[in-house]
Amino acid sequence: MVAKEWTNLLQKTLLMAWMVRYLEAAATNSYGKFWPAIFEAWFRENKARLAVLPNLDHDDDGDDGEKSASDGEEAPKCQSHPQTDAKKALIAQLRGMTDEGRMAWRVRKGILVDQQRIRTWFRWRQNMLTNDRKGQGKANSSTGAILKKFLHTKDTGRLHSQVHKYSTLFYKTRVGPLVTLELESLGHKPSQAEHLEIIKRTTRETWAQEDEETISMVREALEADRAAKLALGDKKDNVSRTPAEYQQAISDLPSALKAVFEELALKTGWSFSILMGGPYPESGGSIQTASHHVGVSSAGNDFEKAYPEFQSNMVLPFYEFLRYVYPKSVRRERALNVTESSTTSSLSPELPKGAEDESPPPFENVQHDIVMDGSSSFKPAVDLQNVHQPFDDEERFEMDDDPEANSPVHAGHNTKPLVINIHEFLLTHPDLQ
């Protein structure tokens, strides 16, 4: 059952007007300035409700004690529960007061109760906002986790602080005995948190009293750790990737592409088509291509399905370009399960015809054909004669009716795809050969 709100409409409006300033105070940890200001604004418009006196005629706390409210509302009753020494002392104190003293106590106590309610009101809504943002950020977190796994990013570890390094080197001989003495002097079994706090505090205090020789030893050990970390990083950077590692990354690529570009499409409202390719280790290092598309037309077609000449005007020129990016020597190095004595013809048994020379292969042998599992965003190997579906009549009509359909999309490009003669292109761009 949802609890009834303790604020009326005007009070809630006042608090909501201060919500932005509360969030600013939370972000800058400046609560000390915020709380006095909101309390002043609150009590300028609202009278504090008087606190309820406990039953002073009996030793137990009854619910029939004196109660009233300056604004006509009945103050909430105290819940019945066993007395504590503090409550007994309070009752004794109130019994010794005059009526004016008891009224002053009720006013002070009522103000404190209202202030606590206001604090709780703001903090509860801050937590709600935080939880909402966490929920909205689940997709981002998932995307980040997928990318981190795909990129195999590993934290090389933070370097220890001087105190931490000191504890690593000298805990058993200098810190541990002092911790043991303090634990024995407690007179009770410490909790895990208490034990840990004693260790941390004792370590800091012992470190602060160490001589220069010990401090120098710790600093030298930290410098050695830093040098080892840098050397390890350089070694990792210089290690060449193996064909198996390339193949594993290619196999993991679909989930990474799906996560990234679906998130980008959501953020930008755009559609994306990505064409990629290179040596495929499991196919003897042969050049293979793949594509990933986000965004479909009203007929349900992505760009590859909607554009009939995608293979001939997009994939083929890109494929031929890739053969110059990855020459025979590179393709040979990327092949899996290839022995040093293998001949050229056996290195890439699945290479398209003409892939081992620099002449363009027949188009019918160029496959846009990296095959992944059923959840992959890649397009499977299929018959090139059946891979494309033409624009349907509705899509054609929409393009013909669009005044911008034949205008330049941006400088140097037109909506009509450009058919490239790869050999003429490479002759005019020798840097790509």
- For residue 36, name the pLDDT band (cuts at 50, 70, 90): very high
Residue 358 to residue 354: CA distance in whole angstroms: 7
Share of the chain above pLDDT 70, in %: 61
pLDDT of residue 422: 47
What confidence score (pLDDT) does residue 361 get? 44
> Average pLDDT in the 132-157 region?
57
Does residue 43 surpass a pLDDT of 70? Answer: yes
Q: Does the pLDDT at position 61 exceed 80?
A: no
- Percent of the chain at pLDDT > 90 equals 13
Confidence of residue 124 (pLDDT cuts 50, 70, 90): confident
pLDDT tens figures, 186-228 = 778 888 888 888 888 888 888 888 888 888 888 888 888 887 7
- For residue 355, what pLDDT is reported? 40
**The CA-based dihedral angle spanning residues 310, 315, 316, 321, taken in that order and rounded to the nearest 10 degrees:** 150
- Which one is predicted more confidently, 163 or 64? 163
- Among candidate residues 76, 82, 106, 110, the one with its CA nearest the CA of residue 3: 76
Whether 117 shows a pLDDT value over 80: the answer reads: yes
- Supply the pLDDT for residue 264: 87
**Residue 151: band (very low, low, confident or very high) from pLDDT cuts 50, 70, 90:** low
Residue 321 has pLDDT above 60, yes or no: yes
Cβ–Cβ under 8 Å, residues 273 and 417: no
**Residue 379: which pLDDT band, with cuts at 50, 70 and 90?**
very low
CA distance 144 to 149: 9
State whether residue 294 is helix, strand or coil.
strand
Residue 71: per-residue pLDDT: 47
CA distances from 150 to 38, 146, 431 (A): 49, 6, 32
Strand pairing report for 272-280 and 286-294: antiparallel
pLDDT for position 331: 92
From the centroid of its chain, how far is CA 285?
36
Task: Kindly state the average pLDDT of the residues 2-6.
Answer: 63
pLDDT, residue 276, reads: 93
Give residue 152's pLDDT: 58
Confidence band of 178 (pLDDT split at 50, 70, 90): confident
* Per-residue tokens: 314: 């997009």
Select from 248, 258, 363, 349 the least CA-distant residue to 314: 363
In degrees and rounded to multiples of 5, residue 273 shows phi and psi of: -135, 125
pLDDT value, residue 41: 92
Q: What angle do CA 108, 110, 113 make, to 5 degrees?
A: 115
More reliable by pLDDT, 287 or 369: 287
Q: How far apart are CA 111 and CA 118, in angstroms?
A: 11
Does position 403 have pLDDT exceeding 80, yes or no?
no
pLDDT of residue 149: 65
pLDDT at position 313 = 92
Given pLDDT bands bounded at 50, 70 and 90, which one contains residue 277? Answer: very high
The structural domains of the chain, with segments of one domain joined by +, span 9-136, 162-238, 245-432
Q: Are 54 and 90 in contact (CB under 8 A)?
A: yes
| 290 close to 270: Cβ distance less than 8 angstroms | no
Query: Scanning the structure block, which residue is given the tokens 């590859």?
Result: 304
What's the pLDDT at 59?
56
Contact 151, 249 (CB under 8 A): no
Alpha-carbon distance of 136 to 426, in angstroms, equals 48
Q: Higher pLDDT residue, 169 or 363?
A: 169
* Least confident span in 123-132, 263-272, 363-372, 401-410: 401-410
Looking at mean pLDDT, say which of 42-51, 181-190, 357-366, 380-389 comes out highest.
42-51
Between 238 and 181, the higher pLDDT residue? 181
Return the DSSP state at 308.
Answer: T
What are the C-alpha distances in Å from 223 to residues 47, 182, 207, 262?
Answer: 63, 33, 18, 45
Nearest to 76 by CA among 116, 104, 40: 116
pLDDT of amino acid 407 = 37
Return the pLDDT at 368. Answer: 52
If we measure between CA atoms, which residue out of 44, 236, 37, 40 comes closest to residue 152? 236
Say what the pLDDT of residue 316 is: 92
